[in-house]
Structure 1
Amino acid sequence: MVAIPVGAEERSGSPPRRNHPMTLRCLFVDFNSYFASVEQQDDPRLRGRPVGVVPVMAETTCCIAASYEAKAFGVKTGTPVWEARERCPDIVLLQARPARYVEVHHLLMDAIQDCIPHGKPESIDEVPCYLLGRERIRENAEAIARKIKRTFLDRGFDAIGCSIGIAPNKFLAKTASDMQKPDGLTVLEIADLPQRLHPLELRDFCGIGPSMEKRLRRAGISTTAQLCAASREHLRAAWGSVDGERYWLQLRGFELPERKTARGSVGHSHVLGPELRHYEGARSVLFKLLAKAAMRLRHECFLAGGLAIRMRFVGLDRRFERDLSFAPIDDTPTLLKLLGDALQPLERALGNGRWKPQRHPPLSVSVTLVHLEPRGSISGELMASRRRSRDMSALLDAVNRRYGNNALYFGAMQDALSQKAAPMRIAFGQIPQTDLEEDVGIAQESLDGHELWLKRERQFKVMAETAHREAREKRKPPSRP
C-alpha cells in the first residue's frame, strides 16, 4: 500500500477544500516542437515554414520533431519521411543537430534559473520548477510563468515557444503543460479536479502508452472520467502493481517522493544511415557502440555480467537478438570478442542466402551491458590473459582521455568512424560527458552520452519501427473470406 503524503489527508476521502489559496506546488515548462524550433531560431528563413527534423537523411526514417507549420498538415513526431513528403510537399527536412539542442537547452535552463530555481530536467525539452511559500498563490505562480516567457524573448529566443503548466504536483503540471499548445499557460487547482481532466484522452497522460491503454480498457476503463473515478484497488489491479496506486494518488494532486533507482545497464543504439545499411557497416557500428559502452562502464566503476545485442531490419518485424551471460567483466577486448562470436550466425545467414540485405537491410543496432556490479564487489582477475585485456583497456582509456576519444581504437570500428556514425547524442537526465563521447577530429554534431537524448532516441526508434510495420500492413492485400 502506498502511504498518503503528510498533509494530504484532507483530500483522501472527503471533497477537496474549495478556494484553497496555496495548493500549487509545481510549475512545469515544456518547449514546443523543440528541435524544429531551434532550427527556426538559428535560421530565420525557416520561420513560418513547415520543418521536420530527422535522425538521418533517409526516406526510411521518421520525423523526430515537426514545426507547428508542419503539424498543420498532419506531420508529427513519428511520421515516416515518405509520408511527411506526401502530406506536405513543401516540408524542409533537416538532420538533427543534438549538440546544438543541448547547447540551447543549457541557455534556456539558465534563463529559467534567473526566474525560479528549476529541478532536474525531465528531458531535453521540459523541466519542472517547484513553488515555495507565496509562490504557490495562483497569481504569483502565473506571474513567474509570464516572467519565464518574457525572459526567453529578452534573451533573443523569439522562435522558441513554451507551454507552462501549474498544478499541485509534477504529474498534473506536466499534464497541464500539454493542454494548451503552443505558447500556453494552464493552471490546475485542487478545486478543478477531476472535471478539468475529463476531456483528455487516456493517451494524453504521462505513463499511458498503447499497451497500458489496452490493459486499462480490459479493466473497463476507456475514458478519463472512468480513470479518475476508479478506486485505488481497481487501478492497482489494472497496472498489476503498486504503480496503479501511485497513479491514483497523482491524479488527486498528491506529490509523491521520487523513486530511487540504481543503474542497471549501460548501452548505446544507433539508426544506420543509408551508407551503412549492410552487414559490414552494421557490424562496425556495433563494435563502436560497445567500445563506447565499455569505456563508460569503466568510468562509472562497474562490471557487466551480460550483453544484449539487437539489430532491426527494414521490412521485417523479426529482429536479430542475442542475450549473453558471463562472469562480470569490463575490458573492451573480451567484450568485442563476445560480440564478434555472437554475430557469426547472422554472418552465416548472409553467406548461405537466408538473409538478403539488399531486400531487408539493417535499420538500427544497439548494444546494452547488463547485470552491473560495482567493481569493488568482485575479486580481481587471476588469469594472465584477462589481466592483459584489462591493462590494454586501461591504456586505451588513458590515451583517449589525453588525445581525444577514439584517437586509439580497434580496427573493427573503422567503417563507423570513417562515416562519422554513432556520434555523441543527447540523452535525458544527464549532462553529456564529451571526454567519453566525442570522437577526436570530428565536430561535435551530436551527443550520445547525454541521457536526455538517449531516451528520446529510443522513443524515436520505436516510432520509426512502428511506422514501418503499419505501412507494411496497409500494403498487404485484404484476406479472402
Structure 2
Amino acid sequence: MTLRCLFVDFNSYFASVEQFDREELRGRPVGVVPVMAATTCCIAASREAKVHGVKTGTPVREALERCPDIALVQARPARYVELHHRLIAAIQDCIPIDGKPLSIDEVACRLIGRERERDNAVAIARRIKRTLIERGLDPIRCSVGIAPNTFLAKTASDLDKVDGLTVIESTDLPQALHGLQLQDLCGIGPSMLQRLNGAGIDTVAQLTAAPRERLKAIWGGIEGERFWAQLRGIEPPTRQRAAVASVGHSHVLDPQMRSAEGIRSVLFKLLAKAAMRLRQEGCKARGLSLHVRFVGREQRYSRDLSFAPLDDSPTLLKLMADALEPLLRAAARGRWRVERFPPLSVAVSLIDLLPNAGDSAALFPERERNHALTRVLDQVNRRYGNNRLYFGAMQDALAQGAAPMRIPFQHIPDEASEADLGAAALVADPSLDELWLQRERQFKAMAENAHRQERERSAARPAAPAPAPAPAHQPSGVGGWVRKRQGSPDDGGRGTTGSLF
C-alpha cells in the first residue's frame, strides 16, 4: 500500500467555467484573457482550442492566427472562486481534502488506511468524477493522479489531461517518469532547466539517477534534497511560513490605463493599499521598490529607494512620485514614445521591513502632520468604506476600477477596510482569492515571456534595408535613462536603470 495521495486537477478550468455558464461556448474553442487587448496572452484555453495549438501563455495574436474562430472572453476571478466552492464540496463528499486547496484548480487529498489500496483509491477517484456529473457541473472535468506523494500524484494527473485517471506506485518508479521531459516536472522552469543542462542532466532518467548531494549542489540548497526525495515517493516536511519581509502590489494595466498618467494613478492606488497593509502588520519600511514594464521592450523602468523607517502614506507617496518623475518627464518631452512602447504592468513594494518599537513623536512638524493625516484616513476608511477619502492622484484609477483588491500570498485582507468602496463583496471564503492571485502572477510572467518570444521571432525575420545612420548621439540626463556615474551629485539613488529606449 504505497499510495498516499490523490490529486485532482480540473482541466482547462477557467475556460470550462465559461463554457459551463454559456451554452453557446460549449464545443467551441475558447481562450480566457486577463484583459481584452491584443497585447496580452491566453491564461486558459479550452480543450477545443488546445487541438489547434492554443494553450496557456499563447499570445492573443498567435491564438487568432492558429484558430480564427476562437472565442476570447475576459477572466472573471470571482466566478471561478465561486465555482471552486461547489467543486470542493463535491470532492469532500467523497474524501476529505488534505489542508487547503493547492490552487484554485488543484486539490490534494490524503489517503489513509484501506484507501491506500489501489482498487479502493481508484474507486474514490471514479466516485469524484461521477459526483461532479451528478451535480450538474459538466462540462467541468478533472484528471486524477494517485501516487505515493503529492508531487508524484500531481505529475500523474498531468499524464492524461482529458478527464484521465493515472496511478503511479512505488514499484513503478523511476521508470514511470522516464517518458517525461524535464520541464514536465513541477518545479523545473526555464532557469532550472538551464542549470540542469549545464550540470550534464538532460533527461528525466539522468535526473532520477542523480545522487542527493548532486541535486543539492545544482539547486544550491535544501530544495535539491526535497526534489530528490519527491522523485522517490517521499513526502518532504511542509515549509514553514517566513516572517513578512515586504508588502506590495502589482497590476497588469487595462488598455485605457496604458499611459503616463494612467501608470501614475494606478501606482498611487497600489502604494496607498500597501502602506495601509504595512501599518496593519505593525511595521515600518526602510525601502521602496518600483517597476514599470512595457509592451515591446525587454528593459523595464526600475527604482529602488532606501530611507529611514516610514509608515505614513503622504511621505511614501511623495518618495514614489519623485522616483517616477524622470519617466513622466521623458514622456512629456517625447523621449519615451508612449504610443509605441505603452506600459504593460506596474508594481510597487515596501521592503526591508522593521517591526514598530512603539510610537514616538516626530521631530519635524511636517512629519507629525503626515502621521496625523494618515491616522485620519485610516479611521474614516475603516468606518465608512475604503477610499471614502483618498489622494487626488488616485482618481483616474478609482474611476476606471483599476487595480481592484486582490488577496496576496500570506495575507487575507479585512474587506471592510481594504475593499474599494462600492466594489462587489468577496466570496464566502476570502482565502480562496489568494489562489487566484497565484494564477494571476503566473499569467503576468507568461505575458512577459510571450512578448519576449515575439520580439525574438521578429528579430529573426529578414530586416528591411536600414536608412543611413544618424550622427552618433549620447543621451544626457535621466530622461535618456543613462546610468549616472557613482558619486554624481544628482544621482537618483541606487537601482537606476540603464538605457531603456
- 1: CA distance between counterparts of 2:273 and 2:110? 36
Q: Which runs of 5+ in 1 are unaligned?
A: 1-21
The one of 456, 474, 486 equivalent to 1:473 is 456
In structure 2, the partner of 1:246 is: 226
1:64 alignment partner in structure 2: 43
2:367 equivalent to 1:386: yes
Provide the C-alpha distance between the structure 2 equivalents of 1:457 and 1:337, rounded to a whole number of angstroms: 29
Q: Is the 8 A contact 1:52 1:66 kept in 2?
A: yes
What is the match of residue 419 of structure 2? 438
Q: 2:32 maps to what in 1? A: 53
Residues 246-266 of structure 1 show CA distances to partners (whole Å, capped at 9, x for unaligned) of 111110011111111223222
Q: How does 1:90-109 map to 2 (within 5 A)?
A: 90-109=69-88
Q: Match of 1:206?
A: 186
Moved more, 388-397 or 338-347: 388-397
Alpha carbons 1:167, 1:173 under 8 Å: kept? yes
- Residues 193 and 37 of structure 1: CA distance in aligned 2, closer, same or farther (over 3 Å): same
Encode CA deviations 1:83-131: one digit per residue, 9 max, x unaligned.
Answer: 1111111111111111111111222222222222212222111121112
8 A contact 1:32–1:183 mirrored in 2: yes
Decide whether aligned partners of structure 1 residues 410 and 131 sit closer, same or farther in structure 2, where only a CA change above 3 A counts: same
Hey, what's the Cα distance between the residues in 2 that align with 1:451 and 1:351? 38
Q: Which runs of 5+ in 2 are unaligned?
A: 466-501
Q: Secondary structure at the match of 2:208?
A: helix
User: Matches of 2:6 and 2:414 in 1, distance apart?
Assistant: 29
Root-mean-square deviation (Å): 2.2
TM-score (norm 2): 0.86
- One-letter amino acid matched to 2:434: E
1:237 aligns with 2:220: no
Q: Which amino acid aligns with 2:390?
A: Y
8 Å contact from structure 1 (residues 331, 390) kept in 2: yes
User: Which amino acid is the alignment partner of residue 173 of structure 2?
Assistant: L
CA distance in 1, matches of 2:204, 2:433: 34
**Structure 1 CA distance, aligned partners of 2:67 and 2:346?**
30
What does 1:323-338 correspond to in 2, within 5 Å? 323-338=304-319
- The one-letter amino acid of 1:329's match is L
Offset of residue 65 of structure 1: 0.7
Q: Give the corresponding residue for 2:446.
A: 463
Q: Distance in 2 between matches of 1:388 and 1:25?
A: 59
- State whether structure 2 residue 239 is matched by structure 1 residue 256: no
In the TM superposition, what are the counterparts of 1:396-475 in structure 2 within 5 Å?
Answer: 396-425=377-406, 433-443=414-424, 450-475=433-458
Deviates more, 1:66-75 or 1:116-125: 116-125
The one-character-per-residue Cα deviations of 1:186-234 (angstroms, maximum 9, x if unpaired) are 1111111100011111011111001100100011111111110111122
Q: Answer yes or no: is the 8 Å Cα contact 1:55–1:96 preserved in 2.
A: yes
3-state DSSP class of the match of 2:159? coil
Matched letter for residue 62 of structure 2? E
Task: Specify the SS of the correspondent of 1:304.
Answer: strand
Q: d(CA) in 1 for partners of 2:112 and 2:375?
A: 48
Distance 1:400 1:147, change over 3 A: farther
C-alpha deviation, 1:332, in angstroms: 1.8
CA contact (8 A) 2:381 2:389 kept: yes
Distance verdict in 2 for CA 1:365–1:328, change over 3 Å: same
1:84-233 to 2 correspondences below 5 Å: 84-118=63-97, 119-233=99-213
Aligned to 2:136, what secondary structure does the other structure show? coil
SS of alignment partner, residue 455 of structure 2: helix
Give, in angstroms, the shift of residue 463 of structure 1: 1.2
* TM-score scaled by length of structure 1: 0.90
Residue aligned with 1:120, SS: coil
Identity in percent: 66
Find the counterpart in structure 2 of residue 348 from structure 1. 329
Shift, 1:401, TM fit: 2.8
Contact residue 311 and residue 319 of structure 1 kept, 8 A = yes
Tell which deviates more after alignment, 116-125 or 82-91: 116-125
Does structure 2 retain, via aligned residues, the 8 Å contact 1:432–1:448? no
Measured in 2, the distance between the counterparts of 1:40 and 1:432 equals: 31
Following superposition, the deviation at residue 427 of structure 1 comes to 5.6
Task: Check conservation: 2:81, 2:432, Cα contact below 8 A.
Answer: no
Q: Distance in 2 between matches of 1:101 and 1:225?
A: 38
8 Å CA contact 2:213, 2:225 repeated in 1: yes
Amino acid at match of 1:473: E
- Tell me the residue number matched to 2:10: 31
SS at match of 1:343: helix
**3-state DSSP of counterpart to 1:350:** helix
Aligned to 2:477: none
User: Could you tell me whether the CA contact under 8 Å between 1:277 and 1:361 is conserved in 2?
Assistant: yes
Mark the CA change 1:47 to 1:445 in structure 2 (over 3 Å): closer, same or farther: farther
2:298 alignment partner AA: D
Are 1:359 and 2:340 an aligned pair? yes
CA shift in 2, pair 1:328/1:30, >3 Å: farther
1:448/1:367 Cα in 2 relative to 1: closer, same or farther (>3 Å)?
Answer: farther
Residue of structure 1 in register with 2:376 after alignment: 395
Q: CA offsets, 1:328-349, max 9 Å, x none? A: 3322222211111110111222
Instruction: Answer yes or no: is the 8 Å Cα contact 2:412–2:431 preserved in 1.
Output: no
The 1-side partners of 2:31 and 2:361 are apart by 51
Distance 1:238 1:77 in 2: 29
> How far off its partner does 1:239 sit?
1.4
Judged with a 3 Å threshold, the aligned counterparts in structure 2 of structure 1 residues 433 and 71 are, in CA distance, closer, same or farther, namely farther
